[in-house]
Amino acid sequence: MPEFDTSHVKNIVLLGHAGSGKTTLAECMLFEAGLITRRGSIAERNTTGDYHELEQDRGNSIFSKLLHTKWRGYKINIIDTPGYDDFVGEVISALKVADTGVMLLNAMMGVEVGTDIIWEYTDKFKTPMIFAVNKLDDDKADFDKTVRDAKAHFGNNVVVVQYPRQTGAGFHEIIDVLRMTMYKFNNTGGKPEKLAIPDDEKAKADELHKELIEAIASNDESLMEKYFDQGELTEDEMKNGLKKAMINHDLFPLFCLSAERNMGSGRLMGFIDNVCPSANEMPPQKTKKGDTLTCDANGPACIFIYKTISEPHVGELSFFKVYSGTVKSGMELENETTGVTEKITQLFLVEGNKRTATNELVAGDIGATLKLKNTHVNNTLHTKGKNYELPPIEFPSPNMTVAIETLKKGEEEKLSQALHQLREEDPTLLVEVSSELKQTLIHCQGDMHLAVAKWKIEHQHKLDVKFSKPKIAYRETIRKMADASYRHKKQSGGAGQFGEVYMRIEPWYDGMPEPTEFNVRGRDTHDLDWGGKLVFYNCIVGGAIDARFLPSILKGVMEKMHNGPLTGSYARDIRVSVYDGKMHPVDSNDISFKIAGLQAFRTAFQQADPQILEPIYHVEVLCPDDLTGAVMGDLQSRRAIVEGIDSEGHFQKILARVPLAEMDGYSSSLRSITQGRARFTMNFVAYEAVPFDLQRKLIDEYSKTAKEEYA
């Protein structure tokens, strides 16, 4: 039998901007529950959560960590998450499996940009949410301002359950307006005294108590009737009303903390046990097909993989939530995505970097298993024959791209394996081997994200690598019509080579009328893999060139389209009309006409007012109002066209079109300009002409490179 049934398992995720105290709070919760005998600290680099060498060096969380406590008959699974936007994938995957979020607010800073960013995801998942104002023992703490900020950002659904009697160094008393009790702590924190609310605080506490009751009652008709009839609600009625409102994402209770001094964590844990929903109290999951999957330990087994990590000498550790049934060691489950049957050889409870073997996990619980060979993040495993597939986690698109290469030749295969491993562990990091740019590219969330990837490659995979600016995927086209011909003739004894081609090229556009100057005998339209079209006309009359040689001419044209004359970039949106030529009864062959077609196209292209196109991206920057000018100035220095400014919540959203070539280093620049208080997204829009001076520079650079390679 499992130690805890489904209704006694609570899954929470600790959220908040970097430095808000999530890892320290997790340490308090483990200590209060007796799972650890001494609280670690960030400064001493010995917390249970931030065990990774890289986190200890940097002094902040980088990866989400699964922990758990046992508290008054309940098991609380805790997922501690990083606070920087670069690691947002860790936050989103944790939100997928958590049933309640605890959002920490730094009492010195109020609502920070990281809080707003995370809130968007909690709102999307409709995660029940608790706010906890932390660091109330700091001299710069301002509880009232933090509450005002929270209500301004997240609405009046933020309801005060606790407030501090004093802040700063003297903080040691918390007044709870749900229980109408004052908690008084000694200097070392821990278990407080429970005292009556002092007379000088009674009026304030009564007012907040009334506000709390009214907020709860307004979300439940039956409680509203009782409140009107009796003028009061019992504590149990308030708890039940809060739970219902939290599940509906209607109320967000707010608590007080000093995680550093272990004040308030025990009461928060008690609220999680007594009020926060278990997985079976949340709305049932819907499969991708729309079927309902009830969280029932007696149902068919179904688990969802939300995270994987690779451990040296052990292999891949897969973290999962049990959405239905009871999972036991030795059980075989089918992967709905791959169709492969996986044997669950071992099950673990996880405490940071420590694992404790267990025989079974019930619906609603979270755990880990080893060595699932063909299972990855976002895969659903279930009892054979059930065909369950849960909706995948949707990760954000990357905002930064760099090229990567090894410093030593011959290690390309090892790098490929390392990048594959990174991708398995982190779905927000994308790897692309670009045949067009002849570079291996890493697409990531920002500088810190990239720094972590580099550290892993160098320290875990023992590879020396360097990053460089990625090349830009330019395009080439033409702006006017041009005619050209080319005769290819080669005689070297025996059969020779001969082919002569006359062609006209023109800029192609949608709805372009058919040629009238030539007698069109055939047309091929090619949708190019890299965008745009090539339209190829056979206008040969009188048998000047046999039809069997037309595909070879097209092949030569297409070869040059792959390697444009100006910069070697792909060419696009061109119409080619082959209207005359000559052939030899013996020496003409496919290679002759391929070469003639390529050279005629190249000559015509150079005479057709060629144009280089560059990729343009739509960029949205979300920043505080006081930083709008600085952000706009930086964008304009990058050849951006600012299209407008909108308000989004408490931020300004700047909309701009920016050439991709100018976005290199933008993540670092924006973080520097705004002290990390802004974020951006970017999406490809179109190809547009580069300025004349830049075109000349690009052509010169390509010519120089081509000469060096030829030499």
**Residue 4 reports pLDDT greater than 70:** yes
547: exposed, middle or buried (C-beta count within 10 Å: 0-12, 13-18, 19+)? Answer: exposed
- Compute the distance between CA of residue 54 and CA of residue 65 in angstroms, rounded to an integer: 14
pLDDT (0 to 100) of residue 533: 96
Structure tokens at 258: 């000093």
CB–CB of 219/241 below 8 Å?
yes
Q: In residues, how long is the chain?
A: 711
Beta-bridge partners for 641 = 657
Last residue of a domain, one of 382, 412, 433: 382
pLDDT (0 to 100) of residue 68: 92
- Give the residue-averaged pLDDT of 202-224: 93
- Compute the distance between CA of residue 513 and CA of residue 575 in angstroms, rounded to an integer: 11
- Calculate the alpha carbon distances from 538 to 479, 510, 521 in Å: 22, 20, 5
Instruction: With CA atoms as reference, report the closest residue to 473 among 436, 441, 443.
Output: 436
Residue 565: give its domain's CATH number.
3.30.230.10
In 218-298, alpha helices (H): 221-230, 235-247, 265-274
**Residue 392 reports pLDDT greater than 60:** yes
Beta-bridge partners for 285 = 293
pLDDT band at 710 (very low <50, low <70, confident <90, very high): very low
Query: pLDDT, tens digit, for every residue of 272-281?
Result: 999 999 999 9
CB–CB of 657/599 below 8 Å?
no
- Give the residue-averaged pLDDT of 88-108: 96
CB–CB of 76/273 below 8 Å?
yes
- Compute the distance between CA of residue 170 and CA of residue 165 in angstroms, rounded to an integer: 9
- Give the residue-averaged pLDDT of 570-582: 97
pLDDT (0 to 100) of residue 677: 79
Cα 517 to chain centroid distance, Å, stands at: 54
- For residues 180 and 158, state if they share a domain: yes
For residue 113, is it within any domain? yes
Beta-bridge partners for 9 = 75
- For residues 223 and 134, state if they share a domain: yes
- Compute the distance between CA of residue 156 and CA of residue 123 in angstroms, rounded to an integer: 15
- Compute the distance between CA of residue 450 and CA of residue 444 in angstroms, rounded to an integer: 6
pLDDT (0 to 100) of residue 709: 47
Residue 672: give its domain's CATH number.
3.30.70.240
What value, to the nearest 5°, has the Cα angle with vertex 419 and ends 338 and 671? 115
**Residue 711 reports pLDDT greater than 50:** no
CB–CB of 110/149 below 8 Å?
yes
- For residues 375 and 425, state if they share a domain: no
- For residues 157 and 229, state if they share a domain: yes
For residue 535, is it within any domain? yes
For residue 706, is it within any domain? no
Structure tokens at 98: 């958590």
Interhelix angle 235-247/199-217, nearest 10 degrees: 50
- Give the residue-averaged pLDDT of 99-119: 91
Query: pLDDT, tens digit, for every residue of 479-492?
Result: 999 999 999 998 77
Task: Identify the DSSP state of 390.
Answer: P
pLDDT (0 to 100) of residue 706: 66
For residue 44, is it within any domain? yes
pLDDT (0 to 100) of residue 579: 96
- For residues 578 and 618, state if they share a domain: no
Structure tokens at 142: 């301002």
HSE value, Cβ hemisphere, 13 Å, CA-based, for 160: 26
Residue 162: give its domain's CATH number.
3.40.50.300
Greatest mean pLDDT among 70-74, 120-124, 688-692 lies in: 688-692
- Compute the distance between CA of residue 117 and CA of residue 128 in angstroms, rounded to an integer: 17
**Residue 251 reports pLDDT greater than 60:** yes
Domain encompassing residue 588: 476-608
HSE value, Cβ hemisphere, 13 Å, CA-based, for 683: 4
- Compute the distance between CA of residue 681 and CA of residue 160 in angstroms, rounded to an integer: 34
pLDDT band at 57 (very low <50, low <70, confident <90, very high): confident
pLDDT (0 to 100) of residue 493: 67
- For residues 564 and 604, state if they share a domain: yes
- For residues 504 and 648, state if they share a domain: no
**Residue 219 reports pLDDT greater than 90:** no
- For residues 140 and 175, state if they share a domain: yes
- For residues 486 and 539, state if they share a domain: yes
Last residue of a domain, one of 421, 452, 468: 468
The pLDDT mean for the chain works out to 93
- Give the residue-averaged pLDDT of 309-336: 91
**Residue 235 reports pLDDT greater than 80:** yes
In 248-385, alpha helices (H): 265-274
For residue 699, is it within any domain? no
Residue 450: give its domain's CATH number.
3.30.70.870
pLDDT (0 to 100) of residue 310: 86
- Give the residue-averaged pLDDT of 414-423: 94
For residue 33, is it within any domain? yes
- Give the residue-averaged pLDDT of 12-41: 91
Structure tokens at 141: 């703490």
CB–CB of 29/101 below 8 Å?
no
Show Cβ contacts of residue 89 under 8 Å, excluding neighbours closer than 6 positions. Answer: 395, 396, 426, 427, 428, 445
Structure tokens at 595: 């070469």
- Compute the distance between CA of residue 150 and CA of residue 162 in angstroms, rounded to an integer: 14
Number of domains in the chain: 5
- For residues 661 and 551, state if they share a domain: no
Catalogue the E-assigned strands of 636-704.
641-648, 651-659, 679-689
Q: What DSSP line would sit under 451-466, residue for residue? A: HHHHHHHHHTS---EE
> What helix, strand, coil percent values describe the chain, rounded to 5?
30, 30, 35
- Compute the distance between CA of residue 94 and CA of residue 640 in angstroms, rounded to an integer: 36
Beta-bridge partners for 131 = 103, 254
Interhelix angle 447-459/666-674, nearest 10 degrees: 120
For residue 702, is it within any domain? no
- For residues 34 and 169, state if they share a domain: yes
Q: What DSSP line would sit under 60-99, residue for residue? A: S--S-EEEEEEETTEEEEEEE---SGGGHHHHHHHHHH-S
Query: pLDDT, tens digit, for every residue of 65-83?
Result: 999 999 888 999 999 999 9
pLDDT (0 to 100) of residue 707: 58
pLDDT (0 to 100) of residue 37: 83
What is the distance in angstroms between the CA of the first residue and the CA of the last residue of the chain?
76
Structure tokens at 65: 């960590």
Residue 373: give its domain's CATH number.
2.40.30.10
- Give the residue-averaged pLDDT of 684-698: 95
Q: What is the 3-state secondary structure (H, E, C) of 604-655?
A: HHHHCCEEEEEEEEEEEEEECHHHHHHHHHHHHCCCCEEEEEEEECCEEEEE
- Give the residue-averaged pLDDT of 535-562: 95
In 198-345, alpha helices (H): 199-217, 221-230, 235-247, 265-274
CB–CB of 369/319 below 8 Å?
no
Last residue of a domain, one of 446, 468, 490: 468
For residue 391, is it within any domain? no
- For residues 150 and 222, state if they share a domain: yes
